[in-house]
Amino acid sequence: MSDYGSGRDAAAQPALRLSGLSKSFGKPAVDRLDLTVQAGEFYALLGPNGAGKTTTLRMVAGLLPADSGEIGIFGVDARRQPIEAKRITAWLPDEPMLYDKLDPLEYLEFVAGLWGVPPEVAQERAVELLHVLGLWEQRFERCEGFSRGMKQKVALAGALIHNPKLLMLDEPLTGLDAAVARQVKDLLVERVRAGAAIVLTTHILEVAERLADRIGIIHHGRLIAEGTLGELRSIAGERHSTLEDVFLELTRPDAVATEAA
């Protein structure tokens, strides 16, 4: 059974449904974006620099007000019920901020407190996350002395401490060495298997190719293609065999928008 099921209504709803989501900073950054991700699905959101990925994730996480459109998270209207939506959503920014004077255990205790997680539950989850992410030995060391990858793992643990059902992860694997990246990937796959949904942005196309159930390509704030790797290959044309080929074909400046646009 799913670890995340909380009644029939939540189970029947997509984990994330964006409809006509828009945000402009003078010019459109996200432009009438429609996107649906199901529970138990690993979704990779790809796009060139400045395509609108981070802006999209920040709106879903409730950190940036949308200009228009709808954001549904397991049936919760995130624009009208932001607190309820945040309770079930994790947000990992591309450059996470930690409280450097805290050690990982203290940090997780602090974050769990913000979410109102009961201390005994928080303690159990913190122990598990620190073990899974290979941070147990460093649990009493201040984060200020940590490498970037270690800080990234502490931030990820913090993002997961309230057992969110939807994980919005902005470049979670960038800059991690192979061993650390493997730990993080394994943890994410395990969460998806347990019924959570993940939306992950990455410029590492191999990550999307290997992990994602579906891939969306965003360009100029619009979803220009979406599907499994096989489906994207047929959209781009059969001669494009790798995701890199497909991505470069679909996002080249003179490419014609596809059916997903």
Q: Which positions touch ligand ATP (CB under 6 A)?
A: 25, 29, 47, 49-55
Nearest-CA neighbor of 5 among 36, 39, 38, 37?
39
Q: Report the residue number, 47 or 69, with the smaller CB distance to ligand ATP.
A: 47
CB of 45 to ligand ATP, least distance (A): 8
Strands 166-170 and 197-201, sheet pairing: parallel
CB of 30 to ligand ATP, least distance (A): 7
Q: Report the residue number, 129 or 218, with the smaller CB distance to ligand ATP.
A: 218
Q: Exposed, middle or buried by CB within 10 Å (0-12, 13-18, 19+), for 52?
A: buried
Tokens at 171, concatenated: 């470049």
Q: Report the residue number, 50 or 113, with the smaller CB distance to ligand ATP.
A: 50
Q: Report the residue number, 181 or 218, with the smaller CB distance to ligand ATP.
A: 218
CB of 55 to ligand ATP, least distance (A): 3
Q: Report the residue number, 49 or 116, with the smaller CB distance to ligand ATP.
A: 49
CB of 172 to ligand ATP, least distance (A): 13
CB of 56 to ligand ATP, least distance (A): 7
